Structure 1
Amino acid sequence: MNKLIHIGFGNIVNADKIISIVSPDAAPVKRMVQKAREEGKSVDATQGRKTKAVLVMENGMLVLSALLPETICNRAISESENSQDET
């Protein structure tokens, strides 16, 4: 079963498809986000708020979130632990 995690404002992603969760502050990440926007390979899930995390997905898409990377990571870990408890 796919593990879904909440990334803020009612937006949910498949945790199994996340390659990395990075902060948007570094210049290389800013360039990566800009390029993805130009190519139509980004999903803005911030609801107009400041981007605090960039999720890099398996298919090359970027998902922008207003939650901190640590928060999303903790939710993914928590979800992973919960699914292990069920098995």
Structure 2
Amino acid sequence: MKMSDFISLGFDNFVDRKRIVAVLKPGSSPMRKLKELKKKEGLLVDATSGKPTRSFILLDNGVLFLSSHLPETIIERIGNEN
């Protein structure tokens, strides 16, 4: 794998861009329920380093990443090859 296969979630945390299924905005009741479900399943990864959660990144294997970046920022990074 090359470094260009990954996108930064901030704070030296990276995820494989090819595994991303959805970038979601937290805050609604269904998103809170999704977060709690993934936490119970052991599939929640907090990559915020204590900052407020601004987006959820769902991978094809069911893992849910929490990021302090806005969804628009994550989407922009997914689209950039370099």
TM above 0.5, yes or no, is yes
Q: Given the alignment of the two structures, is residue 74 of structure 1 paired with residue 76 of structure 2, yes or no?
A: yes
Which letter maps to 1:52? R
Runs of 4+ with deviation above 6 angstroms: none
Specify the structure having the higher radius of gyration (Cα).
Answer: 1
**Quick one: distance in 1 between partners of 2:40 and 2:51?**
20
Match of 1:18 in 2: 20
Displacement of 1:46 after TM fit?
0.4
Deviations 1:3-40 (A, max 9, x none): 21011111000000000000011111110001111221
Identity of aligned residues (%): 38
Match for 2:56 among 54, 57, 68?
54
RMSD of aligned residue pairs (Cα, Å): 1.2
Secondary structure in 1 matching 2:80: helix
Which letter maps to 2:10? G
Aligned length: 80
Q: Given the alignment of the two structures, is residue 27 of structure 1 paired with residue 29 of structure 2, yes or no?
A: yes
Match for 2:42 among 35, 40, 43?
40
Secondary structure in 2 matching 1:47: coil
Higher helix proportion (structure 1 or 2): 1
